[in-house]
A and B are shown apart, each in its own frame.
Chain A
Amino acid sequence: MSTLDFPPRMSFLTLENVAIGFGPENQRVNVLEDVNLSVRENEFVAVIGFSGAGKSTLVSLLAGLERPTAGKVTMAGEEVVRPGPRRGVMFQSYSLLPWLSVAGNIELAVKQVFPGKSKAEVKEHVERYIEMVHLTPAKDKKPHELSGGMRQRVSLARTLSMQPEVLLLDEPLSALDALTRAVLQDEILQIWEQEKKTVVLITNDVDEAILMADRIIPLTMGPRATLAEAFPVTLERPRDRRTLTDNPDYQHLKTEITSYLVRLNREARAARGGSIIQMPDVAPRDFTPPSKIRGLKWKNTA
């Protein structure tokens, strides 16, 4: 295999035999083990897994916030040793600075990443990204005055404003209600179409993954979780959520992924064997105050 067979940056962001564990060395349990991933430039990859499988740890590794205990994380051929603005992270918890306004939060990132920009340029840059996420009317509001969806938009704008080469989205929409989530999914997709960036989306929502990604990679159950065989999503873009559900390919893919995940779950439970902890059989005590109704001593007498 010669290098010419691959267009340049064919594997832009990679994980090679990566393992990470926590705790002292002699009793360390690996959260992730033997993880291999290769993301092409401008590819949209979704990693799907159950909660607690180590999805956020995977993002931390990709971002450089955590160093692997074994293996290597590389981006564009360089090893990732520390976090930086080339890999923009969007956290599930928004991570907005509550004392800064919407514009202030974005400005902080812009000023830091583009120190050469003049005041006017910074302002223009900030406003462009606020406009991109449709928040211009709220640009002077503080995060606590915004709804969850709006906050996540600010977070998206901040991440995009750094003009990262890779966008790491760590369950960005899982804290939002279904309607807001749908709107934001469309917005993120639309922006991705415009800006064409490499995206790694961490999610626990199969529909979301199919709607957005080029490739869906399941994460097996932890501990010692690893990435399983990928499901390529060949559905045509732009995908319309209204018609998508009627598409037989979509239905097929969804069934396939869902049944795979269900099987994973069952296997994991079987692997734990009979060690399932029996819950004690206790009923909660009744602390309701005495009833005011005459003749009834307690409101809820069992």
Chain B
Amino acid sequence: MEFKYKILKGIDISGLNFLSPVVRLATGEEPAKQLREIGRFIVVPIIAFLAFLWLWSVVAPKHKTKAGEVPTPAVVWDATGGIWRFHEYETQKDQAYQLTGGTRLDTLGKAKARMAELDALEARAKEQLAAAEASSKEKFDARVAPSKKAYDDAREASKDARRTRTEALKAEAAQLAGATPEQRETFLNHLRDADAAAEAEKKSLDGLKAAYADAQTVTFPETKDARRTVTVLAEERQFLVKYLDMLGDNSREAKVADAKAKAEEARSAFLNAGPDEDLYKLGSTVLKRQELLATTAASQYAKPWTLPKQIVRSLLCVFSGFLLASFIAIPIGILCGLSPTFMAATTPFVALFKPVSPLVWLPIIMIIVGGFMPDPENHWLIVLLGKVPFLGNYKIDPMFLSSAITVALCSLWATLVNTALGVGSVDKDHMNVARVLRLGFWSRLFKIVIPTALPLIFAGLRISLGVGWMVLVAAEILSTSEGIGKFVNDMYTNGSSQSFAQMFVVVFIVGFIGMALDRIMVVFQRLVSFETAGSTL
């Protein structure tokens, strides 16, 4: 029982209240009521989401774009797999490059076996695709044939009709030589009628043509599936070729061995050289070869940016900005709350800068940061950050810093205002206690003011983090700083239907991460709330 209440309290603190009826049901507490709650807070949302997916899959294919149809949920799910496979392949290649000795040979053997398997799989998939295409071709023809025939027939008929009309009018014109003006007018009317008829025919032809085109757009699920299998297998083959290369001749081990042999060779050539040989040249060759050996030994596979890695970088960026914002906003907010004069001095800045869009801040910040770092590669800060163990892998550059600063500038206001409000709302009775105890300024600040303000400070931080996350993607798109925003931008520029679907994947990833960040902040907020928990959601 004790345990149950601990779980329930945990659920309450984390704000996952929809889970509590499940726990209560599991412990047999008022099953009917719990089932009703589960129905309302779990089943209904799930049904709503399923309805949304259904609506999406029905509506999406109706809209044609330059990048193909708007992807359906199934296509987006498929694209998620594609993104993940790409990441997996690149990670494997990266690892493969660094393998040595027996492990490398083992892996190489396995990869070769898989390649052999793949040949068979691919052959079968291609066969299936051919069969599917053949069968769908018939269906396709059957579907298209009537509209095609209607269109062709109508076109022929219209051609004939026009020819007949033209000939008739020409014949009439030939007889007009001695005609009266009235007769000539009549002829003009005939000409007009013929034009109108041609126009009407053209219109009906267009309609038939559209119907024909529409009939052609049909896709057959079996060909689609077969084609997808072939594509996936082709992707894997492409990967395996590179993978085998990384494990074999192009592995770091092989390269190092090669470089070592060359270095040794140069060295022995230098040491055993006769008096008439150019020792200067041989000596420098030795140094060059040794240097090459060192770089080879330290070399890494040039792994491209995959979405998971970009997500981590985005998170790093948003947290850097968020920390920066907190370091600025909390002290200023405390000062504002303590001193009405300081508050009066700060108000115009808050009012003026709070509504400014990140898209305005970013270019300004980029130029300012650029001014500090004319040669970013060798700037001490970039070099320093590059050496930090984890950060070093994420290419911290001026663009990253600019995005982080933009995030900070856009998100600090919520924290600032909330902190000021929290500090300003200290209970007068608590202040009287402090006066009776003769607490000094710092004791008052840390023992009374800040604890009072903490729940509101965290409410502000929560809003700030949410704003920061929204701002970040925009900032990354604009600054082409590696991250989720860059991924979206790349996909947009790419413009294939596959990349269109991948942008939808990003929507869900960004949403999910934003939700997770918010939940984390809710937990913090509740932990520092001293009155009864559960007041905010």
A65 contacts B by Cβ under 8 Å: yes
Residues of B within 8 A of A82 (CB): 435, 438
Q: How far is the CA of A91 from the CA of B429 in the complex (A)?
A: 8
Whether B436 lies near A98 (C-beta < 8 A) is: no
User: Does residue A22 face the partner (Cβ distance < 8 Å to B)?
Assistant: no
- Bound Cα distance from A100 to B430, whole angstroms: 12
Chain B contacts for A95, CB-based, 8 A: 427, 429-430, 432-433
Q: Which residues of A are found within 8 Å of B432, using beta-carbon distances?
A: 65, 83, 89, 91, 95
Which of the 9-residue segments A105-113, A120-128, A242-250 touches chain B? A105-113
Interface string of B425-453 (1 = CB under 8 A from A): 00101101101111100010001100100
B439 engages A112 (CB within 8 Å): yes
Does B530 lie at the interface of the complex (its beta carbon under 8 Å from any beta carbon of A)? yes
Q: Does A63 contact B (CB under 8 A)?
A: yes
Residues of A with C-beta under 8 A to B430: 95, 97
Tell me whether A108 and B530 are in contact in the complex, defined as CB-CB below 8 angstroms, given that A91-B429, A93-B429, A97-B448 are known contacts.
Answer: no
Give A100 Cβ to nearest chain B Cβ, in Å: 8
Contacts of A97 in B (CB 8 A): 430, 433, 447-448, 451
Secondary structure of the B side of the interface?
helix
How many angstroms between the C-alpha atoms of A98 and B455 in the bound complex? 12
Taking the nearest CB of chain B, how far is it from the CB of A93, in angstroms?
5
A84 at the interface (CB under 8 A from B): yes
Residue of A nearest to B427 (CB): A95
| Shortest distance between the CB of A92 and any CB in chain B (Å) | 9
The answer on a CB contact under 8 Å between A162 and B437 is yes
| Interchain nearest-CB distance for B530 vs A (Å) | 4
Tell whether B341 is near chain A: CB-to-CB under 8 Å. no
Which partner residue on chain A sits nearest B455 by CB separation? A99
Q: Nearest chain B CB to A16's CB is how many angstroms away?
A: 22
Q: In the complex, what residues of A have CB within 8 A of residue B435's CB? A: 65, 82-83
User: What's the least CB distance linking B441 to chain A, in Å?
Assistant: 13
* Residues of chain B within 8 A of A151, CB atoms compared: none
B531 interface contact, C-beta 8 A: yes
* C-alpha gap A5/B451 in the complex (Å): 53
- Cβ of B180 < 8 Å from any Cβ of A? no
Whether a CB of chain B sits under 8 angstroms from the CB of A153 is no
Main SS at interface, chain A: loop
Q: Answer yes or no: A218 CB below 8 A from chain B CBs.
A: no
Q: List the A residue with the shortest CB-CB distance to B450.
A: A99
Identify the closest chain A residue to B447 (Cβ).
A108
- Interface residue A85 (Cβ < 8 Å from any Cβ of B): yes
- CB contact under 8 A between A63 and B436, given known A97-B451, A99-B451, A108-B447: yes
Q: Does the CB pair B436–A87 fall under 8 Å?
A: yes
Which of B437, B451, B530 lies in contact with A113, CB distance below 8 A? B437
The answer to whether B532 touches A144, judged by C-beta atoms less than 8 angstroms apart, is: yes
Chain A proximity of B528: nearest CB distance (Å):
8
Flag if B437 contacts A144 (CB, 8 Å). no
* B531 close to A98 (CB less than 8 A): yes
Q: Are A98 and B530 in contact (CB under 8 A)?
A: yes
Decide if A142 is an interface residue (CB 8 Å cutoff). yes
A54 interfacial by beta-carbon distance below 8 Å: no
Cβ proximity bits B489-529 to A, threshold 8 Å, 1 near / 0 not? 00000000000000000000000000000000000000010
Instruction: Point out the residue from A83, A93, A144 that lies within 8 Å of B436, measured CB to CB.
Output: A83
In angstroms, Cα B458 to Cα A20, docked, is 41
Q: Which residues of B contact A98 (CB under 8 A)?
A: 530-531
The distance in angstroms between the C-alpha atoms of A277 and B244, with both chains bound, is: 98
Q: Which of B436, B447, B451, B532 contacts A85 (CB 8 A)?
A: B436
CB within 8 Å of B: which A42-90 residues: 63, 65, 82-85, 87-89
A84's nearest neighbour on chain B, judged by CB, is B438
Report chain A residues within 8 Å CB of B438. 82-85, 112
- Report yes or no: A89 in contact with B530, Cβ–Cβ below 8 A: no
For B433, list chain A residues within 8 Å (CB). 91, 95, 97
Kindly report which residue of chain A lies nearest to residue B435, judged by CB atoms: A83
Question: Chain B nearest CB: distance from A191 CB in Å?
Answer: 19
Q: Separation in Å of the A165 CB from the closest CB of chain B?
A: 13
Q: In the complex, what residue of chain B is closest to A144 when comparing beta carbons?
A: B531
Q: How far is the CA of A86 from the CA of B365 in the complex (A)?
A: 57
A49 to B151, CA, bound (A): 103
**Residues of B435-484 contacting chain A, CB below 8 A:** 435-439, 443, 447-448, 451, 454
Is B436's CB under 8 angstroms from A89's CB? yes
Assembled-state Cα–Cα distance A113/B436 (Å): 10
Contact with B along A158-186 (1 / 0, CB 8 A): 00001000000000000000000000000
In the complex, A63→B438 CA distance in Å? Answer: 12
Which chain B residues lie closer than 8 Å to A112 at the CB level?
Answer: 437-439, 443
* Interface hub of A63, A88, A97 (most chain B Cβ within 10 A): A97
Instruction: Choose from A63, A65, A142 the contact partner of B530 (Cβ within 8 Å).
Output: A142
Cα separation A108 to B437 with both chains bound (whole Å): 9
The residues of B that contact A99 with a CB separation of less than 8 Å are: 451, 454, 528, 530
Taking the closest CB of chain A, its distance from the CB of B449, in whole angstroms, is: 11
**Once bound together, how far apart are the Cα atoms of A83 and B532, in whole Å?**
32
Nearest-neighbour CB distance to chain A for B500, whole angstroms, equals 51
A164's closest neighbor in chain B, by CB?
B436
- Please indicate the chain A residues that have their CB under 8 angstroms from the CB of B451 in the complex: 97, 99-100
CB distance from A87 to the nearest CB of B (A): 7
Taken together as a complex, chains A and B put the C-alpha atoms of A161 and B251 apart, in Å, by 75
A84 to B433: give the CA distance in the assembly, Å: 10
Of B437, B454, B532, the contact of A109 (CB 8 Å cutoff) = B437
On chain B, the residues within 8 Å of A113 by CB distance are: 437
Rounded to whole Å, the gap between the CB of B444 and the closest CB of chain A is: 11
Asked if A88 and B436 sit within 8 Å, CB to CB, the answer is: yes
Nearest CB on B from A227, distance (A): 23
Encode contact with A along B408-439: 1 for CB under 8 Å, 0 otherwise. 00000000000000000001011011011111
In the complex formed, the residue of A with least CB distance to B432 is A65
The distance in angstroms between the C-alpha atoms of A52 and B454, with both chains bound, is 34
Residues of A within 8 A of B532 (CB): 144
Residues of chain B contacted by A142 (CB below 8 angstroms): 530
- The 7 A-B residue pairs with the shortest CB-CB distance, nearest first, are A95-B429, A99-B530, A98-B530, A83-B435, A99-B451, A83-B436, A112-B437
* 20 A–B contacts from the bound complex (CB under 8 Å): A63-B436, A65-B436, A83-B432, A83-B436, A84-B436, A84-B438, A85-B436, A85-B437, A87-B436, A89-B432, A91-B429, A91-B432, A91-B433, A95-B432, A95-B433, A97-B430, A97-B433, A97-B448, A112-B438, A142-B530
Using a CB–CB cutoff of 8 Å, the interface residues on chain A facing chain B are 63, 65, 82-85, 87-89, 91, 93, 95, 97-100, 108-109, 112-113, 142, 144, 162
Contacts beyond the supplied A95-B430, A144-B531: 15 A-B pairs with Cβ under 8 Å: A65-B436, A82-B435, A83-B438, A88-B436, A91-B432, A93-B429, A97-B430, A97-B433, A97-B447, A97-B451, A98-B531, A99-B454, A99-B530, A112-B443, A142-B530
